[in-house]
Amino acid sequence: MTNSSDDRPADKLFADGDSEDAVDDNRGNRLELNDETNDVELAMPSLSDHPYQLLTPDVVIDAVESTGRFSDARILALNSYENRVYQVGLDEGDPVIAKFYRPNRWSVDQIIEEHNFTLRLYELDIPVVPPLVIAEESDTPTLAKFNNFHFSVYARQGGRAPELDNLDHLYQLGQFIGRIHAVGASYPFKYRIPLRVQAFGHDSVAYLQNNDFIPDELRDAYDSIVHEVLAAIEKNSPEADEYQQISLHGDCHPGNVLWRDDRPHFVDFDDAMTGPAMQDLWMLLSGDTVNKQRQLSEIIEGYEAFHEFNLRELRLIEPLRALRILNYSAWLAKRWDDPAFPASFPWFNTPRYWSEHILELKEQLSILCEPPLTMPDAF
């Protein structure tokens, strides 16, 4: 999806200059393809075993044309893993982005609630990319169904990544996230999922344990460290009564922000959820403690121009990071029957991956045991 973290064509798995004998594991690590990862490739599920086998280019074009938008037959698959997303050229006007939802992930009510939230933000001149109307008189005007796939259509949105070392960018990010949260605080979700330690933490761990993803020789080490990490998360649970639960973007990392026309545009609300404000802020922080403090002070200064920030939520930064680490591995495991995943994440589900995952969890546990980030005295 052009409004996703990576809008390269789906068949371009390597950045310019990268070797096809190495891939990036999405955590900044380089992994050389060897016999271990080649074994994963040999075990790839067949495309015929997955529902997306039916989503051919002709079906994509026919779906878009069913909305009254006539294609010039140019179609470009974009790098979206959870859903299938395509740029489709039109006979008249700019290309559009067609997003085909993963079957059985969200209910119609959940998708429409996400759409309505982004439309509400857009109406208030908050820079988001909402779905386009497909059938105005329909009960689901922004969501259609074609060949058993639910899909939506978006305007193509260009832009570049925000500069997280640019104080003005950070301040503006804070301003617009504050505006989103001001709306979210008075726009409670009825159908979207809440951020729960049980679902994102305990259930993620249980899925990996119960489906034999952890190698036998690493099982004891994994079980031990996840028990400690989950206990540390529970001590600073994002569900605690002291944290206001509001409607959020849910996955507000830099890849879901496009900088254009001197301001950020927030895209891909596919993970919109109910949770504490910090869930939409912590992924914008990077570097050492001093850098994080500097970044956060700018973000919160802009944020509080539109919505009050509870400084106690600083305690949630590392628990939320730990939940994301646990959930990410389970997400990959749950999608391993989708042929796109072994092809795009060949480093996953190897002994090396699980050894590094356990090490990552140990490092995260150490951070969880440290005092939380604080704001500079001058703040």
Residue 11 lies in a domain: no
Kindly report which listed range (28-32, 131-135, 180-184, 303-307) carries the lowest average pLDDT score. Answer: 28-32
Is 55 in the same domain as 122? yes
Examine the pLDDT at 274 and tell me if it is beyond 50.
yes
Is 136 in the same domain as 218? no
pLDDT score recorded for residue 80: 87
pLDDT score recorded for residue 5: 37
Residue 10 Cα distances to 6, 61, 88, 258, 319, angstroms = 9, 17, 14, 20, 33
Residue 24 lies in a domain: no
Q: Give the separation between CA 220 and CA 339, rounded to whole angstroms.
A: 30
Residue range(s) defining the domain that contains residue 207: 167-368
Q: What residues contact 283, with CB distance under 8 A and at least 6 apart? A: 251, 252, 253, 254
Reported as a pLDDT band with limits 50, 70 and 90, residue 377 is: low
Last residue of a domain, one of 124, 155, 186: 155
Is 142 in the same domain as 198? no
Residue 339 lies in a domain: yes
Is 311 in the same domain as 213? yes
Examine the pLDDT at 199 and tell me if it is beyond 60.
yes
pLDDT score recorded for residue 76: 96
Kindly report which listed range (1-5, 61-65, 124-128, 196-200) carries the lowest average pLDDT score. Answer: 1-5
Last residue of a domain, one of 128, 155, 182: 155
In the DSSP assignment, the letter for residue 81 is S
What's the whole-number mean pLDDT along residues 54-72? 96
> How high is the mean pLDDT of the chain?
88
What's the whole-number mean pLDDT along residues 174-184? 98
Residue 281 lies in a domain: yes
Q: Give the separation between CA 128 and CA 180, rounded to whole angstroms.
A: 10
Examine the pLDDT at 237 and tell me if it is beyond 90.
yes
pLDDT over 70, % of the chain: 86
Is 359 in the same domain as 327? yes
Query: Phi, psi (5° rounding) for residue 45?
Result: -65, 155
**pLDDT, tens digit (0-9, with 9 covering 90-100), for 320-352:** 999 999 999 999 999 999 999 999 999 999 999
Q: What is the CATH number of the domain that holds 239?
A: 1.10.510.10
What's the whole-number mean pLDDT along residues 49-67? 93
pLDDT score recorded for residue 318: 98
Active site (annotated) includes residue 241: no
Reported as a pLDDT band with limits 50, 70 and 90, residue 370 is: very high
Is 204 in the same domain as 322? yes
pLDDT score recorded for residue 78: 92
User: Under DSSP, is residue 146 helix (H, G, I), strand (E, B) or coil?
Assistant: strand
Reported as a pLDDT band with limits 50, 70 and 90, residue 270 is: very high
What's the whole-number mean pLDDT along residues 259-264? 94
Q: Give the separation between CA 348 and CA 85, rounded to whole angstroms.
A: 23
Residue 375's closest CA among 307, 270, 281? 281
Residue 10 lies in a domain: no
Residue 37 lies in a domain: no
pLDDT score recorded for residue 285: 96
The first and second tokens of residue 73, run together, are: 């037959």
Q: What total of structural domains would you count in the chain?
A: 2
**pLDDT, tens digit (0-9, with 9 covering 90-100), for 3-40:** 433 333 333 222 233 333 433 333 333 334 444 444 44
Crossing angle of the two packed helices 317-334 and 203-210, in degrees rounded to 10: 30
pLDDT score recorded for residue 49: 66
Examine the pLDDT at 259 and tell me if it is beyond 50.
yes
Considering 7, 268, 270, 271, which one is annotated as catalytic?
268
Please give the residue that has the higher pLDDT: either 207 or 7.
207
Is 185 in the same domain as 220? yes
Residue 290 lies in a domain: yes
Last residue of a domain, one of 129, 155, 181: 155
Q: Is 378 exposed, middle or buried (0-12, 13-18, 19+ CB in 10 A)?
A: exposed
**pLDDT, tens digit (0-9, with 9 covering 90-100), for 94-144:** 999 999 999 999 999 999 999 999 999 999 999 999 999 999 999 999 999
Is 220 in the same domain as 316? yes
Is 202 in the same domain as 300? yes
Contact 212, 352 (CB under 8 A): no
Q: What is the CATH number of the domain that holds 106?
A: 3.30.200.70
Is 205 in the same domain as 106? no
Task: Give the β-pairing of 144-146 and 257-260.
Answer: unpaired
Examine the pLDDT at 59 and tell me if it is beyond 50.
yes
What's the whole-number mean pLDDT along residues 176-188? 98
Please give the residue that has the higher pLDDT: either 150 or 376.
150
Residue 143 lies in a domain: yes
Contact 296, 264 (CB under 8 A): no
Please report the DSSP string for 41-80 in residue order. Answer: HHTPPPGGGSGGGG--HHHHHHHHHTTT--EEEEEEEE--
pLDDT score recorded for residue 50: 82
Is 239 in the same domain as 130? no
Is 107 in the same domain as 178? no
Which secondary-structure segment (H or E) carries 24?
Answer: strand 22-24
Considering 7, 251, 280, 338, which one is annotated as catalytic?
251
Kindly report which listed range (45-49, 238-242, 265-269) carries the lowest average pLDDT score. Answer: 45-49
Work out the end-to-end distance of the chain between its first and last CA atoms, rounded to an integer number of angstroms: 38
Active site (annotated) includes residue 288: no
